[in-house]
Amino acid sequence: MTWKTAEYAGWGRFFTARGELARPERISALSRLATETPAPAIGACRSYADACLNAGGRAITTARLNRLLGFDAETGILTAEAGVPLGDIVTAFGAKGWLPTILPGTGFATVGGAIAMDVHGKNHHQKGSFGQHVVELTLHLPDGPRTITPEDPLFAATVGGMGQTGPIGTVKLQMQPVRGDVMMVTEQRMPNLDSFLDHLDRSEATYTVGWIDATAKGDALGRGILEEGETGPGLVPPAKRGKRVPMDAPSFALSGPIVRNFNAAYYRRIPERGRTVVKPLEDFFFPLDKIHDWNRLYGKRGFHQFQCVVPIAAREVLRDMLNRVSASGLASPLAVLKRMGPGNAGMMSFPTEGYTLAIDFPARDEAPDMIRTLIGLVQDVGGRVYLAKDAFATAEQMDAMYPDRAAWAEIVNDLDPEHAYETDLTRRLALRTQT
């Protein structure tokens, strides 16, 4: 297997790495690599910061391990290679009445990446996290392939484990039957944060997600649009794909006045009485995928995404965070609010019951201090930040946010005593340090 030196980046384009990459095209080649040259595996590099980077080292990219291997229509179990993009599964099976039970906000995320980060979706309040629907997976280790199930202690260290238990080759995934191949989506204006959170708490919809105007202030603080969705039968034009951002946007494109005006217009596009629309599956689950390279809209310096989850009882901290963000003038148009249930599948999984808030910030000089302040507020109320997105948390904050970290590190270090699977993220946050 040929190793080639390459430069690559997280989706935020702020963190970059230069190192050797291998691109196996068959599971047998992955197995040989795992035996001869153990290295972390990376998927589509849709983690925003440094979770998918190994600067100065080697990494195995699973981009060519992208085959759907089999589907049992009686059980709904799909067998796939780790590099399969989730959007490909939606395209292949949505019209047949099946979907992955959990889908994140992009269809470019791979099956292996979804496991490594234990991703969540718009139905976490009902169905939990991605890893809870994995029936079986195979790790490729120096001593050979090892197939594990949820009953194996290594499973909980692997799901949400950021690739620290070795490359994943194949996966058996429990799919769910759906009512049809389109989404029926009810959109409503939410005039402020309290209204938003109250509606999320009461909603009985299968899928819920909220867009927040992070520039709003005063009585309108936390205003936004709530979407509630159900699958159903119908005829709509297929989702459009292929538009591409041809260049890095200039710095003024996301200046304060432009973002405020855009957000105000976006909020008003929904009638006061609300509306119900029918959308292709991909347009609902992956709204930004229709614009390839949308991360270039933040300019050549890139951007950061802050994402947290805070307990239900600590909802008022969201008001504090949004006040600080709106006053800073740093917010972009992308800010998302969701209600999460208690489910997750791994020792280092992000999902936990509460409200999750995600906000994008252009990578300006003032952004790191703002994000560090938000992280501190989250820690103070017993919340946590999403390590797939994190850029500025510290090692000292990890045990409070992830109480199983030390136990997880013990399992991982026993499996990988040479630390061959470490990445820039795990080193920055000292996640594998044992006391």
pLDDT at 88: 97
**382 — alpha (psi -120 to 50), left (phi > 0) or beta?**
left
The full DSSP string for 107-160 is: TTSBHHHHHHTT---TTHHHH--GGGGEEEEEEEETTEEEEE-TTSHHHHHHTT
pLDDT at 254: 80
Q: What is the DSSP letter of 85?
A: B
pLDDT at 116: 98
Q: Which CA distances in Å does 115 have to 10, 136, 350, 430? A: 17, 11, 12, 21
Q: Which CA distances in Å does 346 have to 8, 163, 275? A: 28, 12, 38
State pTM to two decimals.
0.96
Beta strands in 162-234 (DSSP E): 168-177, 182-190, 207-212, 224-232
Q: Are 90 and 281 within 8 A, CB to CB?
A: yes
- CA dist., res. 381 & res. 316, Å (int): 10
One CATH from 3.40.462.10, 3.30.565.10, 3.40.50.80, 1.10.10.10 for 182-397: 3.40.462.10
Select from 303, 306, 302 the least CA-distant residue to 390. Answer: 306
CA atoms within 13 A of residue 215's CA, in its CB half-sphere: 21
Residue 49 main-chain phi, psi, to 5 deg = -115, -110
68-179: CATH architecture: 2-Layer Sandwich (3.30)
- CA dist., res. 122 & res. 205, Å (int): 10
**Token match 């969705």: residue?**
229
Select from 46, 38, 62, 123 the least CA-distant residue to 343. Answer: 123
Q: Which residues contact 373 (CB under 8 A, 6 or more apart)?
A: 324
User: How many DSSP H helices and E strands does the chain contain?
Assistant: 13, 20
pLDDT at 318: 98
For each of the chain's 435 residues, which pLDDT tens digit applies? 689 999 999 999 999 999 999 999 999 999 999 999 999 999 999 999 999 999 999 999 999 999 999 999 999 999 999 999 999 999 999 999 999 999 999 999 999 999 999 999 999 999 999 999 999 999 999 999 999 999 999 999 999 999 999 999 999 999 999 998 899 999 999 999 999 999 999 999 999 999 999 999 999 999 999 999 999 987 666 666 667 776 767 776 788 889 999 999 999 999 999 999 999 999 999 999 988 899 998 999 999 999 999 999 999 999 999 999 999 999 899 999 999 999 888 999 999 999 999 999 999 999 999 999 999 999 999 999 999 999 999 999 999 999 999 999 999 999 999 999 999 999 999 999 987
- CA dist., res. 301 & res. 322, Å (int): 24
